[in-house]
Structure formats: C-alpha cells, structure tokens
Chains A and B, each alone.
Chain A
Amino acid sequence: MSIVMSATTTDRWDEFMEGVWRQNPLFVMVLGLCPALAVTVSAINALSMGLATAFVLTCSALLVSLLRRMIPKEVRIATYIVIIATFVTVVDYLIQAISLALYDALGAFIQLIVVNCMILGRAEAHASKNPPGIAVINALGMSAGFAIGLFALGAVREILGAGTLFGISLFGSGFQPWVVMVLPPGGFFVLGMWLLVFAAWGRWRQRRQARQAEATRHA
C-alpha cells in the first residue's frame, strides 16, 4: 500500500482518466463489443450492463492484484478466467434477485460478461502487475469509460428508435420512430458513427497540435 499512499492525487486522477478518456475501452480500444451492441436497445439496459460489468471488473482486478504473487505464471490465464467467472455468477444471481424484468431483458448477456475481452485484458495487462489500490482505481476508470460508451450507444438508439429516453417520451405523439435503430443493424450503424466521430475529432486535435508546435518553433 505504500505506493498508493505516496502517490499524489493527480497521479490517481490520471490513472482514473486513462480508462475514461485516453484509452476508452469501447471507442478507442474497441473491446467488449458483443454486450455493447446486444443490450444497448435502451439507455436503462445500457446503464445496467455498465454497472454489472463495472462490478465484475473491479472485484476481479482487486482479487487478481491481491493474489498476483501467489498465482503461478503457467496457469495465470486459467486462474483469471475462474476468478472472473465466479464474480459473473455472483452478478447473475444478484440481478435475478433484484429485478426479474431486467434479468429477462439482458438475458444470456450477463453470463457472457465472462468472455468480455476487456476484463481479461485488464487482469493480464494491469492488475497482475500493480498493487491493489492502483489496480482498483484503474479498473474503476475503465468501468466508467465502458459505461459511458454503452450509455452513448443506448441513448442514441433509444432516442432515434423509440423517441424516448429512460422511457420518457421526448418528441410527443407526432414522432415516427426510426425502428431500425433498435434492431440489430442499428447497433452496427450507431457504433460505426461514434467511431467515425472519435476518429475525426482525434485527427482535428492532432492537426491543431501540429499547428501549435509549428507556431512556437517560428516564434
């Protein structure tokens, strides 16, 4: 824990924002796609999925980080998968107990959190090399980034496909819903559009930085 104590607040904030923005799992690294597209027909489904994934990611990051010196290198991937599968089973039964309607809406995709490559990727690339405090902060950031991404997808699809947000009608009775947006093709289109927006924005920022560097060199 000494490393966590000595780390300044800005370091921890940086570690957190890493997942939210610079390495956003959905829009920058394009990981964890299957749940991202399958359950985002409405904003509330997207947020629930984000929360469930956050729980599994954070808990497994903590446990992997605590056990990182005890797990033999040869069987580490198998160990990570068993740890992740345990927490997914917990979440599965938890959602079933809290809301059966939500459980039916998310269906098999709760159990499929196990094979979300983002979680295994974090366990292997980050949690297994860092002390618990840092690993949890990083996992929380990644979770927040993933949830924001899911929400961005779910909100757009619900607004366009049903004219509502969180079940509240936005446009009145005259609105003709764009039904294809809540059907499977809509998921691909909306994600494609978001990736396009992020690529264009990244390019614009790169050009601006290049211009600034040019200006300082001439000055």
Chain B
Amino acid sequence: MHESAAQVFINAFLANNFVLAMFLGLCPFIGVSGKLETAAPMGAATTFVMLVASLCAYGLNLLLAYFNLEFLRLIAYIVIIASAVQLVEMVLKKYSPGLFRALGIYLPLITTNCAVLGVALFQTAREYDFVQSVTFAVGAGAGFTLAIILMASVRERLQLSDVPSVAQGAALSFMLAGILSLAFMGFAGLGG
C-alpha cells in the first residue's frame, strides 16, 4: 500500500484528524482551547515539534534497525522528543523571547503530548518513507492546529451564552468536541 504524499497529508489533516478522530493530544486540546490567542501559537509550536520529532525518529529508526535494537524504540523516541522540546525551548528563548513568554508552561508540556509521540510511532508502524514521514508530520500538526483553533473559537462564542452551571467546564467541552468530531466524519474517505 503506497500512498502519495498528498494522500498522506489529507488523511492526517482532515480524514483521520489526530484530535477529533484518533483522540491524540486531548490534554492541550481541552486545556489550552479557552482563548484564541493562546490556541494558535500552541498549534504552531506543536506542529514544529512534530516535524523535528518526525525527522529525528526517522533517522533513529534506521539506526536502531541497523543494530537490531528495535525493542529500544519506545525509550529512544521519548528521550529524543524530550530533547527536541528542550532544543525548541532554548532556540525560542534566545531568538524570540516574546513568543517564549507567551507560550509559558505549555512549551515543556509538549513532551507529554501524545500526538507528538503518536506521529513518531505511526510513521514507523506504517513504514512511511522520508517524504511521507515529513508530510505526515506537517499534516498531523496542521490538523491539530485546525482542531484547537475551531474549538477555541466556539468556546469564545459560548462564553456569551446561557449554559446550565452544572455543564460548564470539561463536560461542555467534550460535548462540543463530539459535535466537531461528528462534522469531521464527513471527510471520511477523502484521502482514498
């Protein structure tokens, strides 16, 4: 089964959206989607880490396969993602202190974002080549950004409406996510 790069992108971006169809990266999706101005940078930072992690995981997997050390894959991936996040943090701190302050605690928390590890694990399990891996990472990041921005926009509008107080908070967010997920099911089959 060989998918073209465009198919991989559409699949990761819409048809199998990481958040709404595969339930990856839910913690930031629920936690950071309160305001639009934090949701958008969060999406961008996650996309970037996904791309770096995907590149590193691709090289690392070749190395582990060469030495027959596949059982170390999980440990190696998690360490490399943690290092990638640290690197992004240091680069941002040096060249863009404003953005660094805006992201705050959410930046180190990307390490435990299962969507990032998910990208690395899925690209290995599906045996993607280099181009496919990179488009997969970008598509997944774009899908995550789209979902979190949609969610933040809906929640900003919802603050003005009259919701029963019992339902406020997490319960309401999950109902909203369910409706968004229902809408995204319309994209099923688009990636072929």
Contact = CB atoms under 8 A, between A and B. Distances in A.
A188 B166 contact: no
B185 A200 contact: no
Question: Is the interface on chain A under 10, 10 to 19, 20 to 34, or 35 or more residues?
Answer: 35 or more
Contacts of B173: 192
Contacts of A4: none
Interface string A169-207: 000000000001001111111011101100110010000
B172 interface: yes
Interface stretch (B20-28, B127-135, B152-160): B20-28
A212 interface: no
B178 A189 contact: yes
Interface string B160-192: 000000110111111101110110010000000
Contacts of B26: 33-34, 37
A120 interface: yes
A117 to B, nearest CB: 5
Interface residues of B, number: 39
Interface in B54-69: none
Contacts of A88: 74
A188 B175 contact: yes
Contacts of A187: 23, 178
Interface stretch (A11-19, A107-115, A155-163): A107-115
Contacts of B170: 30, 195
B127 to A, nearest CB: 14
B91 interface: no
Contacts, number: 107
Nearest to B125: A108
User: By DSSP majority rule, is chain A's interface helix, strand, loop, or mixed?
Assistant: helix
Given A38-B22, A81-B82, A93 B71 contact: yes
Interface in B105-126: 112-114, 117-118, 121-122, 125
A114 B82 contact: no
B15 to A, nearest CB: 12
A78 interface: yes
B79 interface: yes
A112 B82 contact: no
A149 B172 CA distance: 19
B23 A184 contact: yes
Contacts of A209: none
Nearest to B122: A108
A102 interface: no
Contacts of B113: 115
27 contacts: A30-B170, A31-B27, A38-B22, A38-B23, A78-B82, A81-B78, A81-B79, A82-B75, A88-B74, A89-B74, A89-B75, A107-B125, A108-B118, A108-B121, A111-B74, A112-B118, A115-B112, A184-B22, A184-B181, A187-B23, A187-B178, A189-B174, A192-B178, A193-B171, A196-B167, A196-B171, A199-B169
